[in-house]
Structure 1
Amino acid sequence: MLPYERPHGATLRQRLREPVHLLNIVVGPRRVGKSTLVNTVLQDFTPHVIYVSAEPTGVESRSSIGFPLLDDTFATEQTVGTGKIDGQWLIQQWNEARRRAAKADGSFILAIDEIQKIPRWSEIVKGLWDQDRTAGVNMHVILLGSSPLLVQHGLGESLMGRFELLRMGHWSYPEMHSAFAMSLDEYIYFGGYPGPMNSGLWRDERRWRDYVTGSLIEPSIEKDVFELNRIDRPALLKQLFWLGCDYSAQILALDNIAQNLREPGEGAEPHVGTVAKYLDLLGKAGLLAGLQKFSGSMLRQRTSSPKLLALNSALMAVASGYDFASAKADRSRWGRMVESVVGAHLYNSGGQDLLTYWRKGKLEVDFVLSRGRRTVAIEVKSGQASRPMPGLAAFSSNYPDCQRLVVGEGGIPLVDFLSQPAEHWLSEFQ
């Protein structure tokens, strides 16, 4: 268990100490510490806790969080390895928690990991939760899963008004620095995955690359995208991922992307609509986003050429083929990695629906944060402080009420900028 707890832990503890009102939904990409954080928080509430996982492989763990999760008879009948993870299994877990909640002194907690693995989970949870509210059952419920699957398969309709989200994105620089004494340059290259840092794999770059590819990237695509979304051309989606990560922080037209994607044995290039759909799925899986152009018109934004953005700089590093020393020595590559880190930080810290870029002819602004009439234009500088910024000046001319920020040389130090969420930079200029 990591000796560092993410700030989300304090938020979850507070919610669990309040009266039962809403479901607690913990969402985020793979390997960002959702299960570890919930297990750590639940230690404070033992023995009034049941924690189970709907992952089809493996067996329920009891020792990992330090207290018995289920009595022996129930655990034997409902081990995850039996292959009986379905709606009936979910109802049985819930009913066992109800039974123990009725005997508990105070509130009880039921936590279900990998909830998206259960068919029709949201409809079942809705029915069970509504029954509990009618009966006055004093039981908190925590559901854990990956953001795209939860949002697309239940939260939008079945559970509307019944849950409160706890979003856990990729680890920020302050978190990685606090947990692993990671330097800024190391964060820019090795990114915000705690696993390889905690194990020391990052010190052997070949092993680190193998780990990121085999234990992070491939499961995220195979399990979070392929299993619960119809993907007619899976090889094409993987090509898009690798191309997009290598070109992170660059603007590419969808038709140009399509021209560079072609599956073996297939002559026709993919339709731009397919590329756009797959890029959207990769973004929701916390892997690769396509930022839209700021124009003041939602329609024009949706039809613009995307600015590709790897949502963890480790993905860009692995896709590029550069090792750490070579990436730092190539000023152009390092500059793009710095820009990509800034964009990923804004996106992961709450800016998914606020973040765009701007371009007019050859003039560009790296990132634009906007909500309503409030607009912040952000230029990232990793080179000489005296470099002119005609894009920022042109944007200000078009949008005179905007606020301008320079991040890096001659502006806000990169460490300071990465220490504040996207919302901070919008609220600074209210």
Structure 2
Amino acid sequence: MRIVAITGPRQTGKTTVARQVRSRLEGTGRMCWYVALDDPTPNESDAPGLLAGVDAIPTGSSQDEQWLVGIWERARRAAERLDRGLVLVLDEIQHIPGWSDVAKGLWDGDRRAERKLRVVILGSAPWQMLTGLHDSLAGRFRVMPTTHWSLGEMARAFDLTMDEYVFFGGYPGALPDVRGPERLAAWQDHMARAIVAPAIERDIVGLTRVTKPALMRQLMDLAPRYSGQLMSYNKLLGQLRDAGNTTTVARYLDLLSDAGLVTGLSRYTPAPHLGRASSPKLNVLNTALMTAPSGYTFEEARADRSYWGRLVESAVGAHLYNTRRTATQLRFWRDPPHEVDFVISRGPHLLGIEVKSGKRRRASGLTAFGGRFPDARTMVVGTGGVPLNEFLSLSADEWLG
């Protein structure tokens, strides 16, 4: 039995899943402790018995390795007293510095002693940020990544229409704030304070080596405005106030992508290293990151055909990125004057996708793409092609075949 690690962007349902599983486990008579590590004091109702003799656990706001060991040791003793053992859920594990090495040692000890303790950890960051790419953790964790919610999930949970999904995106925690026009400002504030700011400060700057935090923040402010567009690193540098270089901006954009915020797609080419060197095409990984700081209301965004077109294209790109398998690549293709919005590939499979919205017509690059790559399939999403709601109902790999 490995440690189960549920990781991914903020407010994508990790805690909700953990609490639902805890409720089901307890319904079968199995004890489960839930400890939120961003709360300085464990909650007795979430972990009954944990606080007995609490002097043995350092409390307060400065949780550290000793604090984590104290919680784990108490869970061990509780597990031994229970016929079916105990499940320990540790939420927001990234709040404990050096947690991964501590968890590794404790888990190894549990396995040697054949203890009846099972552990689930939750972290608001991708696995590589949470662990620092520690090879020593291989085989000890079963990683279950979460991602932004799909159209189908948001529609079932909140009765969202397709256009509302395109505008408000796939953050379930933020959605209750948008019911009614007077609450738009509250939703925008929630996005900035509860999602974007913590993702930058805690998940990126707090977990990785970022030498220019101000530059990272500026890049996050700037990139969503250009979602759906090609932006050279030099052009990005020209709009950022802090000094930097193209290598720094490229690395910071990779970190934003890892954190589930904004990605830079590379140009598709049979020689991958050449595509990586090209100017990236920016794409938000949740359209709420594009609309919340825009100043548009839902109605204003729908009325601006140019902006809505970029928003729809960004929604398609985010869907493809978030639903692709690890081995599936998402890029774009450009050979002036021809361009294809998205290219997904895996092994011998290749699919070019062009997004069209409204009545706007433009010269299609799909014909040129098909001529250059005869084995490729092509498709249009939107006007004259696969309806957007139908396209968003299947994953990138289901469309790729």
TM-score by length of structure 1 reads 0.86
Q: 1:70 to 1:284 in 2, by over 3 A?
A: farther
Residue aligning to 1:322: 296
CA distance in 1, matches of 2:118, 2:133: 17
Instruction: Give the counterpart of 2:270 among 296, 303, 323.
Output: 296
Q: What secondary structure is seen at the aligned counterpart in 2 of 1:73? A: coil
Matched, 1:38 2:18: yes
Question: Across the two proteins, how many residue pairs are aligned to each other?
Answer: 396
Residue aligning to 2:125: 147
CA distance in 2, matches of 1:202, 1:92: 47
Matched, 1:54 2:37: yes
Residue aligning to 1:413: 387
Q: What secondary structure is seen at the aligned counterpart in 2 of 1:357? A: strand
TM-score by length of structure 2 reads 0.92
2:25–2:32 CA contact under 8 A, matched in 1: yes
1:52-91 pair list within 5 angstroms: 52-55=35-38, 57-63=39-45, 67-75=46-54, 78=57, 82-91=60-69
Residue aligning to 2:332: 357
Cα deviation, residue 310, structure 1 = 1.0
Residue aligning to 1:247: 226
Q: What secondary structure is seen at the aligned counterpart in 2 of 1:377? A: strand
Spell out, residue by residue over 1:248-277, the C-alpha distance to the aligned partner (whole angstroms, 9 max, x if none): 0111111111111113xxxxx420011111
CA distance in 1, matches of 2:9, 2:55: 31
Q: Which amino acid in the other structure matches residue 275 of structure 1?
A: V
RMSD between aligned residues:
2.1
Spell out, residue by residue over 1:297-351, the C-alpha distance to the aligned partner (whole angstroms, 9 max, x if none): 2211321211101111111012322221111111111010000001111111235
Matched, 1:309 2:246: no
Matched, 1:207 2:222: no
Comparing 169-178 and 134-143, the one that deviates more: 134-143
1:219-230 pair list within 5 angstroms: 219-230=198-209
Q: What secondary structure is seen at the aligned counterpart in 1 of 2:244? A: coil
CA distance in 1, matches of 2:381, 2:364: 15
1:171–1:193 CA contact under 8 A, matched in 2: yes
Cα deviation, residue 100, structure 1 = 1.8
Residue aligning to 2:235: 256
Matched, 1:197 2:171: no
Spell out, residue by residue over 1:106-134, the C-alpha distance to the aligned partner (whole angstroms, 9 max, x if none): 24211111112222211111112122222
CA distance in 1, matches of 2:352, 2:48: 50
Q: Which amino acid in the other structure matches residue 221 of structure 1?
A: I
1:249–1:340 CA contact under 8 A, matched in 2: yes
Q: Identical aligned pairs, as a percentage? A: 42
Residue aligning to 1:15: none
Q: 1:45 to 1:308 in 2, by over 3 A?
A: same
Cα deviation, residue 79, structure 1 = 7.1
Spell out, residue by residue over 1:362-412, the C-alpha distance to the aligned partner (whole angstroms, 9 max, x if none): 211111111112111111111338x45531111111111112122112222
Residue aligning to 1:186: 164
CA distance in 1, matches of 2:221, 2:177: 25
Residue aligning to 1:29: 9
CA distance in 2, matches of 1:404, 1:74: 65
1:201–1:207 CA contact under 8 A, matched in 2: no
Q: Unpaired runs of 5+ in structure 2?
A: none
Q: 1:365 to 1:246 in 2, by over 3 A?
A: same
Q: Which amino acid in the other structure matches residue 38 of structure 1?
A: A
Q: Which amino acid in the other structure matches residue 311 of structure 2?
A: M
Spell out, residue by residue over 1:58-115, the C-alpha distance to the aligned partner (whole angstroms, 9 max, x if none): 433344xxx54443325565475x1341112222222222212222222421111111
2:125–2:259 CA contact under 8 A, matched in 1: yes
Residue aligning to 1:9: none
CA distance in 2, matches of 1:422, 1:244: 24
